Amino acid sequence: MINVNALAFYYQKDGFRLNVPEFTVEKKEKVAVIGSSGSGKTTFLNLIAGIITPNAGMVRVGDVSISDLNDSRRRDFRITHMGFVFQDFELLDYLNVLDNILHPYRITRALKLDKSVKRRAALLAEEMGIGDKLKRKAADLSQGEKQRAAICRALLPKPKLILADEATGNLDPENKTLIMDLLFRAVEEHDATLLAVTHDHELLKRFDRVIDFKNFQELDVSCSTAFT
């Protein structure tokens, strides 16, 4: 599903450099990436999503080489094929929950908003436990509810790839487990691939693979002491 080869990216201003010799995620695989703060995990996700472009190397999602697409096509590809769950949710305060979930459909012509999509959005919200809050403004939701709405927004276009950037970073332990349960269930139900950046070592056992961002080596998560 994801194929990264000889990827190089750097910020000239502060000398930040990111080099990924090789990285692969198979279809329907759930992969976690761990690493220290500031190591470039979010930048890596942004490169895969095509939000930023690499200075060298290749990023391929499915059959499409993201780095070869122009800006407009990259945006279209992102909104139709990828679901992004942001660390701080990034919901729009002035929209209610339903409008936030439907938001991707309103900002691109690549997705068509019709009654069936609205129905599906309501069902998805119901599954996520926020079905009774569809008319509430995003600003009035709790952290857990906001994250559920953000996951609904990411899943609604039925993306084959879900990128989660510390999706549980702002949540309390109880909500953390709940949200991850919902995310994993949704990923499985949608036959999607999940690439998640996380700091939360307790959750790592649930992923198929865990990659150490320092050297891009796979870690053995069966032994919890590996992360201490």
Partner 1 sequence: MFDSLYIAWKYIGYNKARTATLIACITLIGFLPISLELLLDESEHQLMSRAVTTPLVVGVKGSALDLVMNTLYFGNEVPELMTMAVSDRIMDTDLALPIPLYARFRARGHPIVGTTLDYFEFRGLKMAEGQQIAVLGDCVVGAGAAEQLGLRPGDDLVSSPENMFDLAGVYPLKMKVTGVLHKSHTSDDLAVFVDLKTAWVIQGLGHGHQGVTVLKDPTLVLKRTEGNVVATAKLYHYMEITDENINSFHFHGHIAGYPITAVIAVPYDAKSGTILQGRYLSKGESYQIVKPEDVIDGLLQNIFRIKNVLDAVISVVALATVMAIILVFALSLRLRQREMETVFKLGCSRMTMVRLVASEILIIVSASGIFCGAMVVLVDQFSNDLVRTLFIR
Among positions 3, 51, 57, 206, the unique one binding partner 1 when judged by CB under 8 A? 51
- C-alpha count within 13 angstroms, C-beta hemisphere, residue 190: 26
Rounded to whole angstroms, the Cα distance separating 149 from 131 reads: 10
Q: Which of residues 102-121 bind partner 1 (CB under 8 A)?
A: 103-108, 110, 113
For residue 133, what are the CA distances in angstroms to 97, 101, 145? 7, 12, 9
For residue 11, state whether it binds partner 1 (rule: CB under 8 A).
no
Span from 4-12, 25-33, 100-108, 118-126 in contact with partner 1 (CB under 8 A): 100-108
Pick 153 or 178: Cβ nearer partner 1: 153
Binding mask 168-187 for partner 1 (x = CB under 8 A): --------------------
DSSP state of 68: G
Pick 79 or 187: Cβ nearer partner 1: 79
For residue 219, state whether it binds partner 1 (rule: CB under 8 A).
no
Rounded to whole angstroms, the Cα distance separating 176 from 201 reads: 12
For residue 9, state whether it binds partner 1 (rule: CB under 8 A).
no
Pick 148 or 153: Cβ nearer partner 1: 153
Among positions 37, 72, 217, 222, the unique one binding partner 1 when judged by CB under 8 A? 72
Across the strands, what pairs with 34? 212
For residue 26, what are the CA distances in angstroms to 61, 65, 76, 86, 116? 10, 16, 23, 22, 31
For residue 127, state whether it binds partner 1 (rule: CB under 8 A).
no
Rounded to whole angstroms, the Cα distance separating 213 from 43 reads: 12
Rounded to whole angstroms, the Cα distance separating 194 from 127 reads: 19
Which residue ranges make up the site for partner 1 (CB under 8 A)?
46, 49, 51, 71-72, 75-80, 82, 84, 86, 90, 92-95, 99, 103-108, 110, 113, 137
